[in-house]
Amino acid sequence: MILLPLAVASTSTYGKEKIDPENWISGMKEAYAKIDNYTAIFHKQERVNGKLNEEETIFIKFKKPFKIYMRWAQDPYKGREALYVEGWNGNRMMIYESRVMGGVRVNLDPNGFIAMKSNRHPITDSGIGNLVNLIGDNFIRGIKTGEIEFEERGEETVYDRKTKKVEIIFPRDKAKGYYCCRALINIDVENNLPLKVQIYDLHNLLIENYGYEDLKLNVGLTDTDFDPENPEYKFY
């Protein structure tokens, strides 16, 4: 297959329409701007300290500007809950850990050692919006410099959704400051949002694998969904 530099590639199929690579990210940002809140089953797998961790399956609720609730649905952390609301609780996240002493609640600095021990990113980096921005910042910079390449991988069904799969190749030069060397992205054809993203490092090792299953947009989440005293939660 031929890789086309994004700076000169002008059109490619996206569903039944053609895609303009230079407008690709702006389209995703416009789609995300229309969202106030969402729920999803978040699939997360990261390589930390050279080791690829087990995949985590997490039910999430998110509401702008930044409120997030997480409940781990499967092992290895089944029963854990996390809550972070920007500006609340001293900007600490509240954690309920079901596996310790029959259940314990703690408040943690999102960027502290304990919170980051087995994670590549703090909870404040979570969510589709941050993902769109991360992809977009690197993508747009690469377009301007003409340093990245783009390839369409065709259509693929992900979590029972029709997606268009694309691959972005970044320079294999750490000094250039790009986030990764290669990214595979599945974009939901209907809502124009990233549904699955796989990130590879300079050695072509998978370092981040994220997916949003059963994504439901603008479902009417309220402050109650981000209240630690919500009777559905175990913080109290």
* 205 shares a domain with 187: yes
Q: Is residue 111 part of a domain?
A: yes
The beta strand positions in the chain, using DSSP E, are 4-5, 12-14, 17-19, 37-48, 51-52, 56-63, 67-72, 81-85, 93-97, 104-108, 149-158, 161-169, 182-188, 194-200, 206-217
Q: Is residue 155 part of a domain?
A: yes
Region 74-86 average pLDDT: 96
Q: pLDDT at position 10, please?
A: 33
* 134 shares a domain with 17: yes
Q: pLDDT at position 17, please?
A: 54
* 97 shares a domain with 28: no
Q: Is residue 234 part of a domain?
A: no
* 85 shares a domain with 68: yes
* 140 shares a domain with 26: yes
> Cα angle at 141 between 140 and 146, to 5 degrees?
95
Whether the predicted pLDDT of 3 surpasses 70: no
The two structure tokens encoding residue 142:
């690469």
Q: pLDDT at position 165, please?
A: 95
The two structure tokens encoding residue 150:
């783009």
Whether the predicted pLDDT of 6 surpasses 60: no
In this predicted model, what pLDDT tens digit does every residue of 205-236 receive, in sequence order? 999 999 999 999 999 999 999 999 999 999 99
* 163 shares a domain with 95: no
Q: pLDDT at position 210, please?
A: 98
Number of other CB atoms surrounding residue 7 within 10 Å: 17
Total structural domains within the chain: 2
Report the chain's mean pLDDT, rounded to a whole number.
91
Region 185-198 average pLDDT: 97
- With beta carbons less than 8 A apart as the criterion, state whether 57 and 70 touch: no
The two structure tokens encoding residue 139:
């993508």
* 171 shares a domain with 63: no
- With beta carbons less than 8 A apart as the criterion, state whether 183 and 19 touch: no
Q: Is residue 231 part of a domain?
A: no
Would you place residue 99 in the very low, low, confident or very high pLDDT band (cuts 50, 70, 90)?
confident
* 27 shares a domain with 70: no
The SS3 call for residue 116 is helix
Q: pLDDT at position 157, please?
A: 98
**Residues of the domain holding 18:** 4-34+127-212
* 43 shares a domain with 25: no
* 207 shares a domain with 132: yes
In this predicted model, what pLDDT tens digit does every residue of 28-49 receive, in sequence order? 999 999 999 999 999 999 999 9
Does pTM surpass 0.85? Answer: yes
